[in-house]
Amino acid sequence: MEFKQIHAKQVLTPVGWLDNVIVTIQNGIITDITPSDKPCPNQIKLLPALIDTHIHGVMGADTMDATHESLNTMSNFLAQHGVGAFLATTVTESHDKIEAALRQVKNSIQQGVTGATLLGSYLEGPFFNAIHKGAHPEALLQAPDRATIEKWLILAEGTLKCIALAPEYPNALAIIKWLRHQNIRVMIGHTNADYQTTKAALLAGASGVVHCYNGMSGLHHRNPGVVGAALSIDHCQTEIIVDGHHVHPAAVAIAHKCCGENLLLITDAMRATGMPNGDYYLGQLRVHMKDNVVRTDDGNLAGSTLTLDCAVNNLANFTNTSFDKAWLHGSYYPAKALGIDNTLGSIAPDKIANLVVLNEQNQLIATLVKGNIVYQSNQFNEQYITHPKQV
C-alpha cells in the first residue's frame, strides 16, 4: 500500500494558507492534513494543481491531430507548468476530423497519459456566428444541430464534457436546455448575441462565456452585449485569457472585480506554445506566431501561447490581488465550474493528490498527479517526500 507524507512550510487551502503542515497521501488520495508540532525542515509550499479547462495544444501538438502522442505531449508539457488536469479542446473542422479528435480523447483517457490528467474534451465549434469567427473557418460554421450533437455524444461515451455555441440561432435555447439535461456543460462563444439573448441562454442552462471579451459582442452602455451579461449576471462562469494580449490589464481587473469566484483562468493555448516563431496550423488555418502572439493572415488572434502558471502571475499583477487568491482562479474555481470539486481543485482529505510544490520564490519545482511525481525541476529534493511506513 503506497503511503507518503509531505511536510510543507505552507499549504494552500480555499480559505487561505496553513503553516507547518504534514499532508499524508495514500494510494493517490489525500488522507490527512495535520499541523506539525516540529519545525518544518522544508522551505516549500504545497498548492492544488491547476486545471486548464480550455486548451488546444502545445509544443507542435494539437487535439485535432487525433493521436495519443499529441495528447500525451500536451499532458507532459502541462505538468511542467503546474497543471494537473485539462480538457482537450477542438476547433471548427470537418465533422470527420472532429469525430476523430473526440474518439481519440476517449481512447487516450482509457489508455492513460503520463502527465496532467486528461479529463475529457471541450467542443469549440462549429456552432458559431461568422461575425465573430476568430480563427474558425467561416465555410464550416453552422447552426447547432441536435442530431449531430447526439451522434458525437454517443461516440464520446461520456468523455465530451463541454460544448460551446452561439445562442442567437433559433434552435439554440432548446438545445441548451436539452444538453443541460444530459449533464453537458454549455458555454457561449464566438457570438454576436445581444444582452437579452445571452441572459436567456444562461437562464436556459448555459454555464458561462468562452474567453470573455474575445469572439463576442462587446460592452456598450446602451447595448451591454455578451460582455455585459458575463460581467453582470450572477453565476456566469467567465473564461478569460490573461496573457496581456487578448485582454487589456484594466479589462482583466474589471472582470475580476465583477465576476469574483466565477472568473476562470484558461490558456486557449495552441500548438505554437513552447515553440519558436514561425507558421503553424490551428485546425485548417495557417497562423503566424511572433513574439508569443499568434495571428491569422487577416490579423485575428488565433489562440494563445500562454501557460496557466503565467496566467496566475499575470492575474495577480493586473488586479493587485495576492498570489494565493489568484491561484484559486486556476485551480479551485475551475474545479467547481466543472463540478469536480469533490475530487480535485483543493487540498483536503479524500481529494485526489494533484499537487504543486513551489519554492520560497513561488517557483514551480514539482507537480504530482494522483500522488505521483510527473514533473520535477533540478531544485526538487526527493527528501521532501517521506515514506514513514517504509522506515
Condensed to tens digits (0 to 9), the pLDDT of residues 21-33 reads 999 999 999 999 9
Domain boundary residue, one of 338, 353, 380: 338
Shared domain check, 162 and 92: yes
Predicted local distance difference test score (pLDDT) of residue 390: 47
Shared domain check, 79 and 7: no
**Residue-wise over 24-63: b if at least 16 C-beta within 10 A, else e?**
bbbeebbeebeeeeeeeebebbbbbbbbbbbbbbbbebbb
* Catalytic residue list contains 96: no
Q: What is the mean pLDDT of residues 345-371?
A: 96
Shared domain check, 11 and 54: no
Shared domain check, 128 and 25: no
**Residue linked to cell 436539452:** 178
Are 368 and 30 contacting, i.e. CB atoms less than 8 angstroms apart? Answer: no
pLDDT digits (tens, 9 = 90+) for 304-324: 999 999 999 999 999 999 999
DSSP 192-222: ---HHHHHHHHHHT--EESSTTSSB---BTT
Shared domain check, 257 and 150: yes
Shared domain check, 354 and 289: no
The neighbouring-strand residues paired with 304 are 269
Residues 6+ apart with CB under 8 A from 359: 43, 44, 45, 365, 379
Shared domain check, 18 and 140: no
Are 134 and 214 contacting, i.e. CB atoms less than 8 angstroms apart? Answer: yes
Residues 6+ apart with CB under 8 A from 61: 69, 70, 71, 73, 74, 271
44/391: higher pLDDT = 44
What is the Cα–Cα distance from 309 to 356, expressed in whole angstroms?
11
Q: How many domains does the chain have?
A: 2
Quick one: CA torsion of 62, 66, 70, 75, rounded to 10 degrees?
90
Shared domain check, 229 and 102: yes
What is the Cα–Cα distance from 326 to 320, expressed in whole angstroms?
10
Shared domain check, 293 and 255: yes
What is the domain extent for residue 177? 50-338
Q: Which three cell numbers stand for residue 303?
A: 489562440
Shared domain check, 365 and 262: no
Q: Where are the beta strands (DSSP E) in 102-190?
A: 117-124, 160-165, 185-188
Q: What is the mean pLDDT of residues 4-13?
A: 93
CATH number at residue 378: 2.30.40.10
Predicted local distance difference test score (pLDDT) of residue 165: 98
Q: Residue 156: phi, psi to the nearest 5?
A: -75, -20
Residues 6+ apart with CB under 8 A from 42: 6, 7, 8, 9, 381, 384
CATH number at residue 110: 3.20.20.140
pLDDT digits (tens, 9 = 90+) for 353-365: 999 999 988 999 9
**Is the per-residue pLDDT at 349 higher than 50?**
yes
Residue 11 Cα distances to 20, 22, 23, 85, angstroms: 8, 9, 9, 20
The neighbouring-strand residues paired with 87 are 120
Shared domain check, 106 and 15: no
Residue of 65, 268, 309, 341 with catalytic role: 268
Q: pTM here?
A: 0.96
Shared domain check, 168 and 123: yes
> Where residue 391 falls among pLDDT bands split at 50, 70, 90?
very low
Residue 205 Cα distances to 179, 225, 235, 359, angstroms: 8, 18, 11, 42
Q: Residue 184: phi, psi to the nearest 5?
A: -100, 130
